[in-house]
Amino acid sequence: ELYAQSYSCCGVLFASIPNFASFYSEDINNGVECIRLLNEIIFDFDQLLDEERFRPLEKIKTISSTYMAASGLNPSRKGPDEWGHLTALVDFAFAMREALDELNKHSFNNFKLRIGISHGPLVGGVIGAKKPVYDIWGNTVNEASRMDSTGTFDKIQVPKATAQILEAHGYLVQFRGSVAVKGKGEMETYYVLGRRKSVGRQMSVGRHPSVHKSLAAVVYGLVRARKKGLGSSLSVPSPQRRLAPLVPPPSKHKLHRILSETPHPGRRKSRMRERRMTDAGGSSHSYPDMRNVIDLDFKPGS
């Protein structure tokens, strides 16, 4: 007996690993090792679905290295927000990408996901007398599949209607352009970049990477130099070695104020915490540890 049910609105996801085909080889153990790695990838994706935030989602099937999932099939898991299942599906796509990146680090591979998502009406049901399986059909399923096949590595592609809903729910989307889609003609598609807050945070962190990097390098170098100096001072000094007399820095030197305002070592640390360094651009940042290092490592004449 045929079992089928129609749904007014569901989300559908296709996530494929296009470069797995070139990775697969039967030269080693007849391809078993490659399939074992693919199984590990799919297993990691399956485990994500156990998280509470992904309760509205259902895994449909895997086709070779393509993972298929849907949202909104179980009305009891939809929640108060009518589009909550769709946003959960998008978050799942980002979680899949992170899981694959983590696996790449440990397996020394460079697999990339290509993800397509769409939403709309569909039909779900079980067909067949032997080995019956649950599956979904409809225009929404085909559209999500096309979003995957016409997409690009490491991107989540969605049609315009889906992009509008996601943008209204706090996601940052980027217009890709018109894409020729089989059975659809030209379609306007978008890339989902992430939630606005997380994307903004990544951009703000990435905007001035050189400042933090150079500061860390300076501090690291000074600390190493200080340790090296302390280590060498413990050894017996060479007869040819001359110790330079301790001379205070000139009045216009950057360190003059620091040294003159901290006459007692016991008060130095507390004052360092309150004071701020001013860079060439005029902005101020609190770097107490670096001041401490610079003060201790000051060399006359430098």
pLDDT reading at 146 higher than 70:
yes
In our burial notation (b when 16+ CB lie closer than 10 A, e otherwise), range 53-77 reads ebbbbbbbebeebbbbbbbbbeeeb
3-state secondary structure of 68: strand
**pLDDT > 90 in the chain, percent:** 49
Binned at pLDDT 50, 70 and 90, residue 183 comes out as confident
Catalytic-role residue among 53, 160, 182, 213: 182
User: Mean per-residue pLDDT for 161-189?
Assistant: 95
Under the banding of pLDDT at 50, 70 and 90, the label for residue 121 is very high
Per annotation, catalytic residue among 78, 146, 268, 291: 146
pLDDT band at 128 (very low <50, low <70, confident <90, very high): confident
- Active site includes 267? no
pLDDT of residue 10: 97
Handedness of CA 169, 170, 171, 177 (dihedral sign): positive
Higher-pLDDT residue of 4 and 252 is 4
Given a cut of 80, whether residue 106 has pLDDT beyond it is yes
| Residue 29 DSSP class | G
* Residue 182 annotated among the catalytic residues of the structure: yes
Q: What is the pLDDT of residue 97?
A: 96
pLDDT at 242 over 80: no
Segment 265-302, tens digit of pLDDT: 444 444 444 444 444 444 444 444 444 434 444 444 54
The residue with greater pLDDT, 213 or 41, is 41
Question: What mean pLDDT do residues 30-38 have?
Answer: 88
